[in-house]
């Protein structure tokens, strides 16, 4: 029996594959390397001393998926594969709906026809939209997303709930990630963005390593303690361990349920800058600029449901997140 990991060569996928292998699962990875590279797979093997099957395949390729299900005994799927850049999704909405929504439908059709009805899906805190007040709880109404990327996550959650309503044999976990940062302790796998990063931590690490000149802090006039945006940053290894727990849950119980994966703690942009300066031992060049359109002042989770139902809780603090992000960037200045 194996767990199929779509998008397993990517940032969160590679860390999850390491933790799944360490927990004793057999895995099969499928990825099209749209936003990743084969070297991350070598490093998963290096870190775990374990081997796995890999298919270079697009999840929209139904025949390719059918072959994977025919050749392996897949018990459940962890579904990371998708496009994730908010700005790009506004410029290329059709590509985002086609890849994220279309790809998930093709995957679920192939799963259904193969008799595999257990899936853990990468959703996002973005599904809470603009109108809910933090701490965000799974009982809050979702929707009101502000960009096509976020809307794909919202739509997929609805599609998966409809799928379960039509066939109660399915087991579905919708994992709503807050802001993943950090890297594996070894510094061998980490986030490897193409081009100029959009997200805060990869931007900071590239300033620290000298690839970028200066961090722009987007606004210091929010209604937050220091005026900069507040987010719930979570160590990617904690997030990966949350997937191991979610897999246990879908293997054990039928149903569909959403879980926040966050720490429950909100840190400001300047908190992150200062924690990172401590981790890398030097001052970071930054300047305050205008707000980024579409940004919220504050977004953090109530993570208590994941603790109660999955028995999972984030353990790693901000200093460790910054130290591990820095080690990865310093050891791999050009990425993989």
Kindly provide the b/e burial profile for residues 187-205, where b requires at least 16 CB atoms within 10 angstroms of the residue's own CB: bbbbbbbeeebeebbbbbb
CA gap 205, 192 in Å, rounded = 11
From 70-78, 115-123, 213-221, 316-324, span contacting ligand UD1 (CB under 6 A): 213-221
Which helix (H) or strand (E) is 330 found in, with range? helix 318-331
Determine which residue in the list 292, 302, 304, 307 makes contact with ligand UD1, applying CB under 6 A.
292
Determine which residue in the list 72, 124, 171, 263 makes contact with ligand NAD, applying CB under 6 A.
124
For residue 229, the partner it binds in ligand UD1, ligand NAD, none, with Cβ less than 5 to 8 A by kind, is ligand UD1
According to the binding rule CB under 6 A, does residue 232 interact with ligand NAD?
Answer: no
Closest to 194 in 3D by CA, of 32, 36, 7, 82: 36
For residue 11, the partner it binds in ligand NAD, ligand UD1, none, with Cβ less than 5 to 8 A by kind, is ligand NAD
Q: Which residues pair with 217 in a beta bridge?
A: 288
According to the binding rule CB under 6 A, does residue 231 interact with ligand UD1?
Answer: yes
According to the binding rule CB under 6 A, does residue 54 interact with ligand NAD?
Answer: no
DSSP 221-273: -SSSTTSS-EE-EEEHHHHHHHHHHHHHHHHH--EEEEEEES-S--EEHHHHH
CA gap 178, 180 in Å, rounded = 6
According to the binding rule CB under 6 A, does residue 20 interact with ligand NAD?
Answer: no
CB 249 → ligand NAD: shortest distance, Å? 18
Cis amide prior to 168 (ω within 30 degrees):
no
According to the binding rule CB under 6 A, does residue 122 interact with ligand NAD?
Answer: yes
Determine which residue in the list 3, 4, 5, 9 makes contact with ligand NAD, applying CB under 6 A.
9
Tell me if 128 sits within 8 A of 231, measured CB to CB: no
Residues at the interface with ligand NAD (CB under 6 A) = 7, 9-13, 31-36, 58-60, 80-84, 99, 103, 122, 124, 177, 180
Residues at the interface with ligand UD1 (CB under 6 A) = 84, 86, 124, 126, 149-150, 179, 198-200, 203, 215-218, 229, 231, 269, 292, 294-295
């Amino acid at each position: 029996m194996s767990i199929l990991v779509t998008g397993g060569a990517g940032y969160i996928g590679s860390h999850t594959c390491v933790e799944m292998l360490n927990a004793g699962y057999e895995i099969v990875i499928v990825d099209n390397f749209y936003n990743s590279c084969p070297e991350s797979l070598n490093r998963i093997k290096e870190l775990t001393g374990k081997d796995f099957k890999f298919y270079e395949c697009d999840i929209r390729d139904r025949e390719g998926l059918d072959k994977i299900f025919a050749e392996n005994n897949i018990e459940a799927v962890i579904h990371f594969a998708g496009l994730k850049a908010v700005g790009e999704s506004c410029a290329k909405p059709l590509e985002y709906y086609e890849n994220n929504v279309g790809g998930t439908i093709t995957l679920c059709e192939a799963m259904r026809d193969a008799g595999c009805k257990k899936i853990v899906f990468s959703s996002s805190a973005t599904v809470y939209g603009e109108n809910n007040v933090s701490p965000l709880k799974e009982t809050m109404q979702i929707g009101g997303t502000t960009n096509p990327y976020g809307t794909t996550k919202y739509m997929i959650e609805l599609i998966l709930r409809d799928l379960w309503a039509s066939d109660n044999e399915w087991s579905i976990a919708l994992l709503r990630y807050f802001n993943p940062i950090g890297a594996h302790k070894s510094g061998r796998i980490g986030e490897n963005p193409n081009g100029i990063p959009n997200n805060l931590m990869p931007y900071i690490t590239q300033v620290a390593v000298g690839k970028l000149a200066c961090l722009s802090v987007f606004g210091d006039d929010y209604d937050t303690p220091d005026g900069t945006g507040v987010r719930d940053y979570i160590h990617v290894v904690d997030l990966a361990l949350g997937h191991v727990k979610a897999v246990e849950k879908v293997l054990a119980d039928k149903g569909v349920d959403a879980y926040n994966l966050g720490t429950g703690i909100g840190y400001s942009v300047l908190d992150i800058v200062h924690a990172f300066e401590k981790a890398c031992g030097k001052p970071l060049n930054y300047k305050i600029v205008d707000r980024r359109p579409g940004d919220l002042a504050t977004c953090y989770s109530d993570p208590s449901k994941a603790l109660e139902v999955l028995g999972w809780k984030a353990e790693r603090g901000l200093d460790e997140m910054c130290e591990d992000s820095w080690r990865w960037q310093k050891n791999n200045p050009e990425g993989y």
